[in-house]
């Protein structure tokens, strides 16, 4: 074989090998990109600081679920020490006051069935990132506090029946912690919050209407006994002084600004909710101002 023919064959083999190498490399890159595009949106709390919400010293839902029902019942009647103010709260816009330190509401823990709450999502059902600022929504139970807790502790496979609050305040001012603040309580169905930046709502379930649940902290007041079960009422005797104090004390631990403290009636779009009815906003904000204050450096900037 002549040298020229041999060199030609070697060159052809080299070119074929090089071409195969390039094709295989491109295939790996394409597959890698495809996997990134098709991956499911993460369930995480990377866009919102849940430390803006009141923080309760609670056991995890997993630990609670593993305990016996007898132990849970015993635990629910034991007073807990008040949550401490974290460094994050001290360095944020608001700080608690001496009046906050002096008030000591009683506590209970009532574990909610996992079917009645979920994770907070960093993306909506279409994969669009969500980063709404924290929102506090006020409710009332419509019946006794024990009735609401019993409902939340029962499993519900029907998505239209699943419901919960993060916290509930009894007539005597006792705060019942239900769902941890970093979890999504099912406190409002079809709902929208009209903020200075526009309408805010998030769709996390393609089978249900969009709602504020993904970025809301839900707090409910126990309805006065004479109004229990009377859903058509538009007024009643209102809430106790202890309830207003405990509500203000609880929210004073948050960094949520006043304009983002709202009611179920305001955010509801179903036309069926009007709670909390007979709520005295002036009394609540007067107490809130006594339990937290703007840090001077932030106040000077405003």
In this prediction, residue 34 carries a pLDDT of: 34
* Mean pLDDT split into 10-residue runs, the chain, 302 residues: 54 54 47 33 42 54 38 33 34 85 94 96 96 96 97 95 97 96 96 95 95 97 94 88 97 94 96 93 97 80 52
In this prediction, residue 54 carries a pLDDT of: 72
Domain 50-301: homologous superfamily in CATH: Peptidoglycan recognition protein-like (3.40.80.10)
Residues 6+ apart with CB under 8 A from 94: 252, 254, 255, 292, 293, 294, 295
Give the pTM: 0.73
Alpha carbon distance 129, 133 (integer Å) = 13
Would the CA dihedral through 189, 109, 247, 174 be positive or negative? Answer: positive
Residues 6+ apart with CB under 8 A from 279: 138, 140, 221, 238, 239, 263
Question: Strand 193-195 vs strand 198-200: parallel, antiparallel, or unpaired?
Answer: antiparallel
In this prediction, residue 70 carries a pLDDT of: 40
Tokens of 229: 């079960």
Tokens of 36: 């990134």
Preceding omega of 277 cis (within 30 degrees of 0): no
CB 61 within 8 A of CB 153: no
Residues 6+ apart with CB under 8 A from 99: 290, 291
Place of tokens 């203000």: 248
Of 182, 162, 205, give the one whose Cα is nearest residue 120: 182
In this prediction, residue 234 carries a pLDDT of: 84
Alpha carbon distance 148, 280 (integer Å) = 22
Would the CA dihedral through 168, 173, 175, 181 be positive or negative? Answer: positive
Helix (H, G, I), strand (E, B) or coil at 183: strand
Q: Cβ–Cβ contacts within 10 Å for residue 265, how many?
A: 16
Place of tokens 């109004």: 227
Alpha carbon distance 38, 259 (integer Å) = 39
In this prediction, residue 65 carries a pLDDT of: 38
CB 164 within 8 A of CB 178: yes
The H or E element that residue 168 is part of is strand 167-169
């Amino acid at each position: 074989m002549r040298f020229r023919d041999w060199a030609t064959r070697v060159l052809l083999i080299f070119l074929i090998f090089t071409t195969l190498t390039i094709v295989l490399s491109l295939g790996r890159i394409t597959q890698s990109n495809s996997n990134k595009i098709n991956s499911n949106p993460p369930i995480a709390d990377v866009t919102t600081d849940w430390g803006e919400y009141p923080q309760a010293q609670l056991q995890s839902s997993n630990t609670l679920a593993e305990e016996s029902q007898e132990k849970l019942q015993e635990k629910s009647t034991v007073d807990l020490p008040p949550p401490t103010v974290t460094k994050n709260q001290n360095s944020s816009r608001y700080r608690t006051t001496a009046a906050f330190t002096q008030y000591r509401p009683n506590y209970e823990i009532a574990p909610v069935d996992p079917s009645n709450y979920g994770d907070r999502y960093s993306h909506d059902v279409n994969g669009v990132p969500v980063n709404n600022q924290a929102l506090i929504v006020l409710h009332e139970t419509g019946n006794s506090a024990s009735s609401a807790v019993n409902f939340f502790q029962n499993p519900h496979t029907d998505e239209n029946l699943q419901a919960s609050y993060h916290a509930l305040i009894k007539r005597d001012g006792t705060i019942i912690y239900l769902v941890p603040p970093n979890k999504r309580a099912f406190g409002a169905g079809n709902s929208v919050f009209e903020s200075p930046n526009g309408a805010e709502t998030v769709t996390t379930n393609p089978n249900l209407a969009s709602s504020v649940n993904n970025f809301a902290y839900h707090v409910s007041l126990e309805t006065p006994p004479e109004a229990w079960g009377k859903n058509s009422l538009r007024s009643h005797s209102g809430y106790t002084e202890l309830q207003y104090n405990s509500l203000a004390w609880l929210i004073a631990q948050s960094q949520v600004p006043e304009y983002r403290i709202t009611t179920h009636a305001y955010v509801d779009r179903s036309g069926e909710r009007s709670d909390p009815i007979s709520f005295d906003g002036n009394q609540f904000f007067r107490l809130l101002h006594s339990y937290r204050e703007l840090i001077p450096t932030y106040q000077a900037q405003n």
